[in-house]
Copies of this chain bind each other. A is one copy, B any other.
Amino acid sequence: MEEIKIFAPATVANLSCGFDVLGCCLDNVGDEMIVSKNDLNEVRITKVTGQDLPLETKENVAGVAAIALLKHQNSQQGFDIEIHKKIKPGSGIGSSAASSAGAVYAINKLLGEPYSANELIAFAMEGEVLASGNAHADNVAPALLGGFSLVRSYDPLEVISLPVPSELRLVILHPRIEIKTRDSRSIIKQEVSLKKAIHQWGNLGAFVSSLYTDNYELLGRSLKDEIVEPVRSILIPYFSEMDSLARSNGALGFGISGSGPSVYAMCRGNENAEKVKEAFQNFYEKKDIGFELHLSGINKKGVKVL
């Protein structure tokens, strides 16, 4: 195989109760990438459409992730990477993660799959370091593995996959303001109250249980964050209004997607998700901020060949 075209999905990290350790993969929101071997012994970003992103390999997250993999593999093989961005950078649904995960997935395929999907996570995380200054895995892991990913440990890196209740749907609203992950991280306090931390791990434990038992009500009650969301939500327009709107329209839970500004509503079933989406649309159309709305199931496969 000399060339591969892939779909690199968007992801929702944190999901309220799982700051820095939890994320899930979206079905119908994502970038396309075309990766091909070249004879130049180097990785090149040959084309970017849809967004204005660096073509300099070492300044592009896909390039950095690709180099990390090739270095570990001791490979001199060169690659050309085309990125067709559909996910907006800075939207909070894993734009950089999609590019990083897509690049390492494609190169691994073209090299004959020396690595498992789980092993690719560490390489893709190098792209996250470039994007946000922080080696977080809660976007790249679900982008590569699909479904829900839980980062048990960062050192050593251990990511586990969790089951996906089949009726889960996500409605994502992206208000067109940009919040850099880097900035959004800097406002979080590095010390938290033990009491709130206990609430957080109680909720995350219950969330994991709810995925194994298809307990949608428990899942909804577990989607809480008393630590990070109260601070970050200040940066997000109409956060509390959207929260009320989601819940009054039957959403299981609501919160910030990644570091924002996108917000997510977790819903049970298409019908409920459509209702929440419509409520969001009606609300935001009357405001002065542009927006995108997505309704997506949860993608169990992660990055895939097109």
Residues of A participating in the B interface, judged by any CB pair closer than 8 Å: 17-22, 150-154, 158, 160, 162, 188-195, 197-209, 212, 218, 221-222, 227
Contact = CB atoms under 8 A, between A and B. Distances in A.
B192 A197 contact: yes
A91 to B, nearest CB: 23
B195 A190 contact: yes
Most buried by B among A197, A222, A227: A197
Contacts of A190: 193-195
Most buried by B among A189, A193, A205: A205
> How often does this chain occur in the complex, in copies?
2
Nearest to A207: B205
Contacts of A17: 201
Contacts of A206: 150, 152, 158, 160
Contact of A202 (B153, B188, B207, B218): B153
A257 B193 CA distance: 23
A213 to B, nearest CB: 8
B153 A203 contact: yes
B22 A221 contact: no
A203 to B, nearest CB: 6
Contacts of A22: 205
A160 to B, nearest CB: 6
Given A202-B21, A207-B205, A188 B197 contact: no
Most buried by B among A17, A152, A190: A152
Contact of A209 (B162, B194, B200, B221): B162
Nearest to A203: B152
Given A152-B202, A190-B194, A200-B197, A221 B158 contact: yes
Contacts of A221: 152-153, 158
A190 to B, nearest CB: 5
Given A191-B193, A194-B227, A205 B205 contact: yes
A201 B203 CA distance: 9
A154 B21 CA distance: 23
Contacts of A227: 194, 197
Contacts of A203: 152-153
Give the top 4 A-B pairs by smallest Cβ distance, nearest first. Answer: A152-B206, A201-B201, A197-B197, A212-B212
B201 A160 contact: no
B188 A191 contact: no
